[in-house]
Amino acid sequence: MATLTIRNLPDHVRDKLRLRAAQKGRSTEAEVRAVLNEAVAEQDPPPRPSVRERVARLQAAFAPYRSAEGSVVDELIAERRIEGWMENLQAIRGMNAGEKPKRHRPPT
């Protein structure tokens, strides 16, 4: 542990520290340590929330936007499947009408 010497401390500050220490039943040195610990602890940043706490907070924030029937992801997948079926149906109808099939290019 380190040792700290404080020079030119005003007498009234020393007297207040002694009085405060006596009221709490500890030595002046112990009181000064407690005061310094409190002062430094106030400057410490608050602890970061855990991943679990952050996920819970995000879920709570998005709860009003959830669908009662199912998840948004399920709805988007269902919509995309319907779009795909419609594209296939149009391609089949076009082939039956004598059109050449269009080449499917995957999205990039």
* pLDDT tens-digit profile, the chain (108 residues): 888 888 999 999 999 999 999 999 999 999 999 999 888 887 777 788 999 999 999 989 988 877 777 777 888 899 999 999 999 998 888 888 777 766 666 666
Q: Are 49 and 57 in contact (CB under 8 A)?
A: yes
Using alpha carbons only, give the angle 48, 52, 54 rounded to the nearest 5 degrees: 55
Q: Output the CA torsion sign for 91, 94, 96, 99.
A: negative
- The domain segmentation of the chain, as residue ranges, is 11-41, 67-108
Run of H or E residues at 20: helix 11-24
- pTM comes to 0.41
Q: Are 31 and 21 in contact (CB under 8 A)?
A: yes
Residue type, 91: A
